[in-house]
């Protein structure tokens, strides 16, 4: 019986011809739009992660500590909430860096009677520390250290990152929700359209007393098959666009977002898209199950 029902689903899909092709193409476009947005969102998310790594808080010290004091100070700061890593920058390292920055004018620094640059700590933030509240709390704690002369940097980046994330969240929720709803409506409508062609068969099946499962299963299978085909084609389309446009977009993305290269959807996302297509098609098939008995 199952073989007959699957055969019926395939036969109907074949017989639906252009309507089925249109339904599958609509499903493809809809899921490709959703997958494309997912792709962009993933890459922008990665860029945001990289921005977070760039955020630094610099703690200038009153005086250069001894080696033992440095280790103890670094351990103390490392243990603070919001801190991902701490690096000690000695006075001489700071001067070396200054000379590198000055380049051919480095001789200016050599003429100084003493090294005026203070020793410092470069504090890198973890996810909790890279929020406006987390960073403010950390800056307060760092300022209260007896060794601290001044704390600088960080907040600009943290605020910019927070704004960027909020924007991503809003765009993600907004566009994602709109695309998801559009995909659901498109796939279910397209599936219903094809399954409408089966209304005569449904009428006959109900008239002769076919069990409800036998009436509904081919519709469900046909819808699922359509959704799956649409999802597979959507993924092919995304792979093709990624392969063709990716190399051309990477320089632009590198300059604007700071990403070295674009990444494609992760395997579990691809599987998720295929499952979504299959389930949406099945949902359409279920909706198109036809009229029930009075």
Binding footprint of another protein on the chain (CB under 8 A)? 1, 4, 15, 200-201, 203-212, 214-215, 292-294
Please identify, using beta-carbon distances, which residue of 5 and 130 lies nearer to another protein. Answer: 5
CB 251, min distance to another protein, A: 55
- Supply angle C-alpha 96, 100, 106, rounded to 5: 85
- In sequence order, the 6+-apart residues with CB closer than 8 A to the CB of 264 are 39, 238, 239, 242
Give every CB contact of residue 198 below 8 A, 6+ residues apart in sequence: 12, 218, 219, 290
CB of 206 to another protein, least distance (A): 8
Measured in degrees and rounded to the nearest 5, phi and psi for residue 106 equal -60, -20
Q: What is d(CA 174, CA 166) in angstroms, rounded to the nearest whole number?
A: 12
Output 211 or 247, the one with its CB closest to another protein: 211
- Which residues are paired to 152 by β-bridges? 58
Please, what is the minimum distance in Å from the beta carbon of residue 211 to another protein?
6
Q: How far is the CB of 194 from another protein (least distance, A)?
A: 14
Q: Which is nearer to another protein, 40 or 210 (CB)?
A: 210
Cα-Cα-Cα-Cα torsion 274, 280, 282, 285, nearest 10 degrees, comes to -140
Q: Please, which residue, 197 or 287, has the CB nearer to another protein? A: 197
Nearer to another protein, 15 or 261 (CB): 15
Q: In this complex, which beta carbon is closest to another protein, that of residue 161 or of residue 217?
A: 217
User: At its nearest, how many Å lie between another protein and the CB of residue 233?
Assistant: 26
Report the first-to-last Cα separation within the chain, whole angstroms.
27
Least distance (Å) from another protein to the CB of residue 13? 13
Residues found in the chain: 294
Question: How far, CA to CA in Å, does 138 sit from each of 23, 161, 171?
Answer: 55, 16, 30
| Residue 191 Cβ vs another protein, minimum distance, rounded to whole Å | 19
Cα(282)–Cα(192) distance, integer angstroms: 10
- Closer to another protein by CB, 171 or 210: give it: 210
Shortest distance, position 282 Cβ to another protein, whole Å: 20
Nearer to another protein, 74 or 215 (CB): 215
Residue 58 in 3-state DSSP?
A: strand
Element housing 149 (H / E): strand 148-152
Q: Which residues pair with 123 in a beta bridge?
A: 57, 86
Name the nearest CA neighbour of 168 among 55, 44, 259.
44
């Amino acid at each position: 019986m199952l073989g007959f029902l699957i055969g019926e689903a395939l036969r109907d899909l074949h017989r639906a011809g252009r309507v089925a092709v249109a339904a599958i193409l609509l499903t493809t476009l809809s899921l490709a739009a959703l997958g494309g947005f997912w792709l962009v969102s993933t890459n922008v998310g990665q860029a945001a992660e990289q921005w977070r790594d760039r955020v630094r808080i610099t703690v200038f010290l009153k005086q250069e500590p001894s080696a033992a004091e440095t280790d103890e100070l670094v351990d103390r700061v490392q243990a603070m909430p919001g801190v991902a890593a701490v690096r000690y920058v000695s006075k001489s390292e700071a001067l070396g860096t200054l000379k590198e920055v000055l380049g051919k004018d480095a001789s200016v620094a050599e003429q100084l009677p003493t090294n005026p640059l203070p020793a410092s700590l470069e504090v890198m933030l973890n996810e909790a520390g890279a929020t406006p509240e987390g960073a403010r709390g950390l800056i307060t704690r760092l300022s209260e250290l007896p060794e601290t002369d001044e704390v600088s940097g960080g907040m600009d980046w943290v605020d910019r990152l927070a704004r960027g994330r909020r924007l991503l969240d809003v765009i993600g929720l907004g566009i994602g929700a709109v695309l998801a709803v559009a995909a659901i409506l498109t796939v279910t409508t397209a599936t219903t359209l094809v399954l409408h062609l089966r209304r005569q068969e449904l009428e006959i099946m109900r008239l002769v007393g076919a069990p409800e499962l036998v009436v509904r299963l081919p519709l469900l299978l046909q819808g699922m098959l359509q959704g799956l085909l649409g999802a597979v084609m959507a993924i092919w389309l995304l792979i093709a666009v990624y392969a063709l446009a990716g190399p051309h977009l990477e320089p632009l993305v590198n300059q604007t977002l700071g990403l070295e290269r674009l990444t494609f959807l992760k395997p579990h996302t691809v599987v998720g898209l295929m499952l979504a297509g299959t389930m949406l098609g099945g949902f359409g098939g279920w909706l198109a199950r036809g009229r029930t008995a009075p």
